[in-house]
Amino acid sequence: MQSVFFREKVIAAMFYGFRTIKNPVSVTVHPELMRNIRDQFANKLIAPKSVGDAEIFFGLPVIEDATKEKDYISVD
C-alpha cells in the first residue's frame, strides 16, 4: 500500500469500512502498515492517538495482527 497516494488510500479504506460495517468496533491493521500510518499521518488531525493503553484511529481501537498481509487494513 506504500505509494504516492498512501494517505488517500488509507482514508478511502477507512471510509469504505465505515460505509459497509453497520456498527464498527475496531480497525485491524498489519503492524508494518500501522508503523507507516503513524509516520505518514504524524502531526495530522486524523493521526492515530494513544488513549490510556489503547491506540485509536478514526475513533476506533486499533488491533495489530501480524498474521494478515502486509497491506491489510479492515474496519471490523
18-66: pLDDT as tens digits: 999 999 999 999 999 999 999 999 999 999 999 999 999 999 999 999 9
At 38, phi and psi to the nearest 5? -60, -45
Asked if the structure places residue 57 within a domain, the reply is: yes
55 close to 24: Cβ distance less than 8 angstroms: no
Q: How far apart are CA 28 and CA 43, in angstroms?
A: 22
Q: How much is the pLDDT for 3?
A: 65
DSSP annotation of 6 reads H
Decide if 56 is inside a domain: yes
Residue 1, domain member (yes or no) = no
Q: Would 58 be classed as within a structural domain?
A: yes
Total structural domains in the chain? 1
Q: Do 21 and 15 touch, CB atoms closer than 8 A?
A: no
| pLDDT at residue 30, rounded to an integer | 98
Residue 4 is predicted with a pLDDT of: 78
In a domain, 51, yes or no: yes
User: Looking at the domain assignment, is residue 44 inside a domain?
Assistant: yes
SS3 of residue 62 by DSSP = strand
Residue 23 within any structural domain of the chain: yes
Structural domain boundaries, residue 71: 6-75
Checking if the pLDDT of 2 tops 80, the result is: no
